[in-house]
Amino acid sequence: MMRLLRVLFAFLSLAVICASLARAEDVSPIPQVADQWRFSVTPYAWLPSINSTLSYKDRYIDTAHVTTNNIISNLKSGGMIAGEAHYGNWGIMGDMVSATLQKDGSFPVSPAPGMVVSVSDKATVQATIVTGAATYTFLNNQDAYVDGLLGVRWVGMTATLGLAASFGGPLQQVVASKAMSTADPIVGFKGRYRIADSTWYIPFYADIGSGGGTTNLTWQAMLGVGTTINKWIDVSLVYRNLYYDMDSSKTNGAGLLQKTTFQGPQLSATFNF
pLDDT at 204: 98
**CATH number for the domain that contains residue 156:** 2.40.128
Q: What are phi and psi of 16, to 5 degrees?
A: -60, -45
Query: Cβ–Cβ contacts within 10 Å for residue 196, how many?
Result: 6
Please name the amino acid found at residue 104. Answer: D
- CB 96 within 8 Å of CB 128: yes
In the DSSP assignment, the letter for residue 27 is -
Q: Are 127 and 157 in contact (CB under 8 A)?
A: yes
Q: How many structural domains does the chain have?
A: 1
- Residue 156 is predicted with a pLDDT of 85
Output the pTM of the full model: 0.77
Residue 24 is predicted with a pLDDT of 44
DSSP 3-state of 145 = strand
Report the 10 Å Cβ neighbour count for 138: 11
Ranges of residues in the chain with a pLDDT under 70 are: 1-26, 54-77, 103-122, 162-176, 212-213, 248-257
The pLDDT, as a whole number, for residue 140 is 97
Domain span including residue 221: 2-272
- The pLDDT assigned to 1 comes to 45
Cβ neighbour number for residue 260 with a 10 Å cutoff: 22
Q: What does the DSSP assignment read for 32-55?
A: ---SSEEEEEEEEEE--EEEEEEE
Which pLDDT value is given to residue 73?
61
CB 78 within 8 A of CB 93: no
Q: Which of 57, 65, 48 is nearest to 259 (CA)?
A: 65
Radius of gyration in angstroms for the set of CA atoms belonging to the chain, rounded to a whole number: 22
CB 188 within 8 A of CB 178: no
| Residue pair 91/83 in contact by the 8 Å Cβ criterion | no
Please check whether residue 139 is in contact with residue 191, taking contact to mean a CB–CB distance below 8 angstroms.
yes
CA distances from 4 to 12, 50, 70 (A): 12, 16, 10
- Whole-number pLDDT of residue 79: 85
pLDDT of residue 71: 56
Kindly list the distances between the CA atom of residue 24 and the CA atoms of 28, 31, 59, 126, 141, in Å, as whole numbers in the listed order.
11, 18, 61, 46, 21
| pLDDT score of 21 | 54
pLDDT at residue 78, as a whole number = 75
